[in-house]
Amino acid sequence: MAGGFAKDGGVQDQIDATVEDGINRVRSRIRRGESRNDCAECGKPIPEARRCAVPGVELCIECQEQLDRQETVQSGYNRRGSKDSQLR
């Protein structure tokens, strides 16, 4: 049952859009191509096992962990079309 201006299934549409946005964000971060031999950040050699396991790797494990901690994004939930998001 929809209320106000929302159509039937509007909540599910928002959930689906949130999941799709998350998937697209992760897919955009996938590296492709040749891996580097040395870390682009610190210059330390990248182990061969990591280069084989992660195509297009550019960072050593330590530098990648630091980057991952900095880039932690909480998507929360999708507020597209809500009145509150339009007021901001």
Q: What is the pLDDT of residues 1-55, one digit of tens each?
A: 445 566 777 788 888 999 999 899 888 877 778 889 999 999 999 999 999 988 8
Assigned domain for 3 exists: no
Assigned domain for 55 exists: yes
Return the higher-pLDDT residue of 79 and 52. Answer: 52
Q: What is the DSSP letter of 80?
A: T
Q: How many domains does the chain have?
A: 1
Strand partners, 45: 38
Query: Distance between CA 74 and CA 57 in Å, rounded?
Result: 24
Q: What is the pTM of this model?
A: 0.51
Confidence of residue 78 (pLDDT cuts 50, 70, 90): low
- Full domain range(s) for residue 60: 32-71
Assigned domain for 9 exists: no
Assigned domain for 49 exists: yes
Assigned domain for 48 exists: yes
Residues 6+ apart with CB under 8 A from 63: 39, 40, 41, 42
Assigned domain for 54 exists: yes
pLDDT value of position 45 = 95
Assigned domain for 7 exists: no
